[in-house]
Amino acid sequence: MDTTYRLISTATALTGILSLSAQQVGGSSISASTGSNKCITQIQYNHLNLPSRITYSNGRVINYVYSASGTKLKVTHKPSGIGITTKTDYVNGYIFTNNSLSMAQTGNGYFTLSSTGDPIYHFYLKDHQGNNRMVVSQSGSVEQINHYYPYGALFAESTNGDVQRFKYNGYSLGRDQREQGA
C-alpha cells in the first residue's frame, strides 16, 4: 500500500504531518499518525472535499453540514465528556447559535443583539483587497485590529472583548480551523 504525506502547518511553523494511505486519499477519511495537529485524530470529508467531521483525541467532535454548492449551513460542536453541544446554523447572512440569533451580517459589518434585544452594530474597515482589518463599534471605539501575511494567515490580532471571526477575504475563522464559505 502506497503512503503519501500531507504537511499540516500554521502561519508560522510546521505543526505536523498526516500519513495517508492511497485508499484514504481518494476516499473520505484521513487519520493523523504523527505530529501535534491540535490533537486532531481524524478528518472526514464529504463529496465536495469539505470537512464533514473532525474528531479530536479528547473525544471532542465537530460536524459540518453544507448545501450542494458547498455553502456551510450548520456546525455542531460536541465537547468531550458531559459538555453542552453547541449548534450553529448559517442562513443567508444570519447566524443562529442554539436556535437563537447571535449575529446578522450587513453590507459593511454585522450586528449582535443586546440582552434587551436591541441591535448593537459593528462596522468593518477593510483594506484594498477587502480583508477586514479593523472592527469598530457603533460608538466609534476600536474592537479589533487584524494583520495578515500576504497569503492570508493571521499574524497579529488585538481585541477588546469578543472576537469577530470574519477576517481574511470575509471568510470565517472558526474555533479550531479556518472555515471558509460561512
Q: Minimum mean pLDDT among 1-10, 34-43, 93-102: which range?
A: 1-10
Residue 23 DSSP symbol: H
Residue 85's contacts (CB-CB under 8 Å, 6 or more residues apart) are 76, 77, 78, 79
Report pLDDT digits (tens) over 32-79: 544 455 688 999 999 999 999 999 988 899 999 999 999 999 999 998
Distance (Å, whole) CA 111 – CA 119: 6
Which cell is 99 given? Answer: 436556535
Q: Quick check: helix, strand or coil at residue 26?
A: helix
Other beta carbons within 10 Å of 88 = 19
- The answer to whether residues 172 and 165 touch, using CB atoms and an 8 Å cutoff, is yes
Whether 126 shows a pLDDT value over 80: the answer reads: yes
Answer whether 169's CB lies under 8 Å from 152's CB: yes
Residues 6+ apart with CB under 8 A from 83: none
For the chain, the structural domain boundaries read 1-75
